[in-house]
Amino acid sequence: MEFQLGYKMRILLATLLIPFVLFGFDISFNKKFEKQISPNKLTTNITISVLKNSEEKVTPLLNKFNNMISKNDMVEKRAGDFSIRPKYKYNKGQSTIIGYNGTLTYTIYASNAKVINAFVKSIITLKSDNDTSITVSGLNWIISEDKKSEAIEDLRLEAIVWAKQYTSEISSKINSICNIKNINISSQGIRPMFKQARTESMMMSKQMQDSNIPIPQVGKNSISINPHYTLECK
């Protein structure tokens, strides 16, 4: 009788363990991977404003600046915006056009401070009177898309290599066979952390042709991913 009871207990325990042996269990978690990278590109906004008493006088001046900027190969250029709007004087509810204000705006990118300064100085040479103003604003260092993509690829590889090592370690510690079931690294999981040094707006004049624009210091930036792991253990 004792033999039969013991035998039945072993059968029962074995039966209870079958689901764990056959189906195992999953382990899900997130882990952050971070990389320090240095900005490698300068960017700034260049705005040329012209104020004249007629639209016909504004257009040629803005075209002169626009042609020079568009043909300049020293820098990258984006988002060229050209506009001319009337300037009004208001008196007792009545508005009178007293002139026209033309604006030309570009976002400029360059690899170093020397190129930015040379480009700005070439624009200043076109300034012919006080009715034309040149403003440089938001000068700061950024990380180029190529360098950012390279850093993200490095982090993805690091995340995959770590997962393989961790799977081997946890298999040994819990005396199971664990495998990587899924690694999800979505675009939403990429977290750039930019600490940008930025200069204030500067009005450029003819007298500044021999001076350089103050360039902000280059600081370290962080970029990170937070992949979600699922391990299957049996």
Taking the alpha carbons at both ends of the chain, their separation in whole angstroms is 35
Hey, where are the domains in the chain?
41-143+198-216
Give the ranges where 24-54 is alpha helix by DSSP (H).
none
The whole-number pLDDT of residue 203 equals 67
Report whether 229 contacts 29 (CB < 8 A): yes
For the chain, the average pLDDT equals 82
pLDDT at 12 over 50: no
If we measure between CA atoms, which residue out of 31, 35, 106 comes closest to residue 67? 106
What is the distance, to the nearest Å, from the Cα of residue 41 to the centroid of all Cα atoms in its chain?
A: 12
Residue 224 or residue 19, greater confidence: 224
Q: Does domain 41-143+198-216 have CATH number 3.40.1010.10?
A: no
Lowest-pLDDT choice from 104-108, 127-131, 140-144, 194-198: 194-198
Mean pLDDT on 169-185: 92
Task: Give the C-alpha separation, 47 to 103, whole Å.
Answer: 7
8 Å CB contact between 234 and 176: yes
pLDDT digit string, tens, across residues 54-79: 889 999 999 999 999 988 888 998 87
Query: Does residue 195 register a pLDDT over 60?
Result: no
Q: Which of 5-9, 58-62, 93-97, 219-223 has the lowest mean pLDDT?
A: 5-9
Percent of the chain predicted with pLDDT > 70: 79
